[in-house]
Amino acid sequence: MKPQKLSWVTTPLLILFIFQLLGLLVLPFLAPLMNTILGAAATDPTSGITDDQLGLLKIFTGATLWVSFIIAAAWAAFTFLTYRAAGQGRGWARVAAIVIAILSLLNFPIGTILGVLILIGAFDPEVQRFISR
């Protein structure tokens, strides 16, 4: 039988996963925005940016967006797998949920609230017994 406070772990994990998916959906729209900003900077005579510098800026911006996308997708997958494993009572899910919660504490204000809820649920004795079975 699942403990009552298990939902204090699984529900915030699911909410964090949904927020991460929304962030992944927004990420592709940043490339055209950055190109617009860089284009405006290139046409401004007071900026002092040369064509070579602009090309390097576009390359590094594109690479940074791709790396950010890969890391965010991996983190979203990790959060979803932790959500499912916690619901199934797998032992590693409690430790993973605690790691996600601690890192979520830095994401003020919503991530902080969700991280605190996960920590409260993860340290509940009934949840600990359920997950360590």
Q: Is 117 exposed, middle or buried (0-12, 13-18, 19+ CB in 10 A)?
A: buried
Q: Which of 78, 90, 109, 86 is nearest to 9 (CA)?
A: 86
Q: How much is the average pLDDT of 68-91?
A: 95
Report the pLDDT value the prediction gives residue 10, as an integer from 0 to 100: 95
71 to 20, 47, 54, 107: CA distances (angstroms): 11, 32, 26, 16
Percentage of the chain modeled with pLDDT above 70? 99
> What pLDDT sits at residue 41?
78
Q: What is the DSSP letter of 107?
A: S
The model's pLDDT over 16-54, given as tens digits with 9 standing for 90+, comes to 999 999 999 998 888 888 888 888 877 877 877 777 888
pLDDT for the residue numbered 59: 87
pLDDT at 61: 86
Residue 54: the pLDDT is 80
